[in-house]
Every structure is written in structure tokens, then in C-alpha cells.
Structure 1
């Protein structure tokens, strides 16, 4: 069994995550096709019953799924929670929730038994302490309440990671926890696991610049400790392009996202 501390130390500082996504608030939606597809798949996994009286969009971002949840549950009260104030400012203008709240998934600003559904799509991969997130979910959910989340695990952006490994020894690609860690933490959470699976989604880009531009526009570029400081030298960029070209497919340069889907219920 792996120790928890090395996993935590390998993940990004959430203050940097919040700042990065705040800066990306105006550009995020234009390049968020994958995020919308993954969140829609997560929505489809939600059971029809019971209908929540209050739901929370956790890591709500620009509010795309806040508005989707409001449409799905028109009689329920909705709350949007995000650590990035820039995202919340953007989402407030478009509505969908009764309250937009700055908050951290590891320390939810909600009282015990506050909601019936916690929905979180592609946000929890930035949380170093997943057991704390699951504990908070158990605390704020009412009996029979649901936690539905999608996240990312090892295997995500593997082509980019392996290409950088051929160039230098720095950390250039965001790290993610193993799927086995999700399985273990969910099993130990005292929540009933209704669904826990992975799916590979592969995007294709005409060139490396298009991929890195999208990552920056999403706010999801390299935020890890151990990343190199300063500008990347031209020789290293050329070497990276050459290394990545080895993965080229007829559709373009592939970028694999290994997505975790989970639906858990409080007994």
C-alpha cells in the first residue's frame, strides 16, 4: 500500500490551481468540449430517484453543469461551490444556482446534512486529500444522498508525459492518482459504492501547439511541484515536438484522458 504523504506532496498547490482557473474563466468554455462530454456522462449515471431537494455543484467552474442541474431539478435549491473566485464571478452572471460560494472540497462551507446530491465533474483530481473530500461528502449529505463525481487518474496525458521524459527529467505534466487509489478510498469511505469505473477519451490535435494552447485556455497546464522555472528552450521544444510525433495517428496527435466515474450513496 502506498503511503499517503508522497501522493499529496506530488499534487499541485490548490492556491495555484485556484489562481490558474480564475485566469482561465473567460477562455474555458471555448475549449471545454471534453469537460462537457464527461460531465454529461456523469449526469447520465445519476439514478432517477430520489429527486434531490438541494443539490451542490462542487467545483462548478463557469457554471455549465450548475445550469444543467437547475434544468434537471427545477424544484430543487441549487448551490455552486468553487475554489476559484474568477470562475464564480463568471458563473454568477449566468445564474443557475441560488448561491455561488467560494469553498474547498476538503473543507466544505456547508452544515451537516445540508444536501441530497453532491455533483462534481473533473474537479477532485486537484484535491490532494481525497479521503477528506469523501468524509466531507458523508458529513454534508442527508441519508440516501448521493455523491457523483468524475475525475482523472494515471494514464491521463500519457503521450505528453512520455514525450517530455524523452527530453529531460523535469515534471511537465500534471500528476494524477492511480485508479486503485480511488477504489481504495471509496471502499474505505463508509459510503455505498454504486458505480466506479474508468473510460479513456482520446482527443486529437493537428500539432503540439494546439494541445498546449488548449491546456492553458482550460487553466490545466502544468501546476506540479518540480516543474521547470522560466521559459522552455527552443532546442527542448524541438525535441519535444519530435518525440510527440511518434504518437501521431491519422486523426492527428492523440491526447488521452483517463476518466474516473463514481456514484456513491450515504446509507
Structure 2
């Protein structure tokens, strides 16, 4: 369970650092945009777009370029992120809203609902996808990117190995859970496709991205610098365990004298093909 208050504070205080350190998130933004723009035929129309987890506005900028006449609502839970993003834009067609999309009452319908690298922070993902579907116009699209279970696999394996070596009952590393592509597709099929098979088309894509750091501490600092450090309600750690984990990581997962970090990137797209009865 994610502690949303901690999440807000972490991202707000690191808004100024985010664009410098969020290399993989930027790559995901461009891949997500490519997936969307290949499908949309109305890129010059005045469509309504909801950008969830807009952060510093990097993905919002890409949306503006691709859909210059769109009306965009950009939402983020962190006040610091919203404040930083607002400074980038002068267009009256972009409305910034500081809110938790899982809790917010949104009384509008959208042609396109998008989210880059945000869905992993949701506590009620299934209910939120149902909610977002209700906010889609007929023939609208929901498209998002998120992280899969192989993300930080080196860290997780090192943590488990450290626990085994020290004879600690570690359990999983106390961070948010990353769902697999199959699990995400299953949620969409169960709650959308299975209820109306002819009304939805669902597609997915998986990619792995890699980063390399001089030390594990450099890697952990980079995660902290974008505000993505542990926001889990259960954040207890053992210093001896962490020290051993770092030692194992730097021994077992080094390539060319640098430690390797895996990001498992998942892209999912739901096209809503319902038509209004005559």
C-alpha cells in the first residue's frame, strides 16, 4: 500500500531534479506517444485530453506538439510538480490540477486519457481503470505506461541473497508492487472487454531499458532525486541487511565496472469503440 502523503512530499521536493534524472521515464514518454499517434487520425482536431501524473510537464509538452489544438487537463498528486509544470506553459488550453486521480471527482469526458510512468503508484488500480473508462468519450482511448515486475530485478535479487546470507527472514523488498503485463491485461479484460467484447480493443507492448551507475548508492540516490524512493506504508529496513545487499549487488551485477539496473517498461492501450444509440 502506497502512503500518498509521503508520495506527495517525495515528488514535490524533487520536482526541480526530476527532468535531470528521469532518463527512462523520458524514453517511455516518447514510446507511449508513438503508440498513441500512430492510432489517432484527429491530431489537428480540438480534442480533450487528460494527462494523469503529468509531473514536470515533460510528457505534456510532447502532447502539445502532437495535438496542437487539444484541450489538455494535466493532473498530478504533488503540488511541487504542478507548480513546476505550470511555469513551462502559457497556453490557455492546458489546465493544471493538483489531485489524486484515484480520489478526484472528474465531471468531464475525454477523447484521450494518457499516463506515463504513474500507474504503479495507484492503490486501487482496478477501480481506477473502471473509473477512467467511464470518463472516456465514445471511440476514445486510454493509453498508459508503467513498470513491470522485472524492474530493479538486480536490487530484489541482491536483497534476497543478502537475507539468505545473514539468515534473515526478509520477504519481498518493502516497495510498491509492479504488476505484470498479463495481470494488467487481465484487469482490463475482466472489467472492460468481458463486459462488452465488441466495444473494446486492447493492445500491449513490453520493453526493457537499462541504466548503469558507478555504485549502488549512486543508483539509489538517482531514484531519490526523482522522488520515486520508498513511499510504501511498510518502510522498515535493517541497516546490516542493506549494507550486505549493496555489497552483493556490486559483486554480482556489474558490467564493465558499473552496476546494472533493469527497467521493465509496459505500455497498454484500450480503445473504446462504443457508439451512442440512435
Q: Which bracket does the TM-score occupy, shorter chain normalised?
A: 0.7 to 0.9
Match of 1:6 in 2: none
Inter-partner Cα distance in structure 1 for 2:162 and 2:233: 18
For structure 2, list consecutive stretches of 5 or more residues without a partner in the other structure: 164-169, 194-199, 274-278
- 1:176 aligned to which of 145, 168, 178: 178
C-alpha displacement at 1:173, in angstroms? 4.1
Superposed, 1:1-267 pairs within 5 Å as 11-46=1-36, 47-51=39-43, 53-95=47-89, 98-112=94-108, 114-168=109-163, 169=170, 171-190=173-192, 192-228=200-236, 233=239, 235-245=240-250, 246-250=252-256, 252-267=258-273
Inter-partner Cα distance in structure 2 for 1:117 and 1:251: 44
For structure 1, list consecutive stretches of 5 or more residues without a partner in the other structure: 1-10
TM superposition score normalised by structure 1: 0.88
For the aligned residues, what is the CA RMSD? 1.9
Paired residue total: 253
Inter-partner Cα distance in structure 2 for 1:107 and 1:189: 19
Inter-partner Cα distance in structure 1 for 2:256 and 2:54: 35
Inter-partner Cα distance in structure 2 for 1:45 and 1:223: 30
2:201/2:272 contact within 8 Å kept: no
Match of 1:8 in 2: none
C-alpha displacement at 1:172, in angstroms? 4.5
| Cα 1:89–1:250 shift into 2, 3 Å | same
Inter-partner Cα distance in structure 2 for 1:236 and 1:127: 28
2:181/2:204 contact within 8 Å kept: no
Inter-partner Cα distance in structure 2 for 1:187 and 1:45: 20
Deviations 1:43-72, CA, capped at 9 Å, x for gaps: 000113244611111100000111111111
**SS across alignment from 1:226:** coil
Match of 2:166 in 1: none
Pick which of 213-222 and 244-253 moved more: 244-253
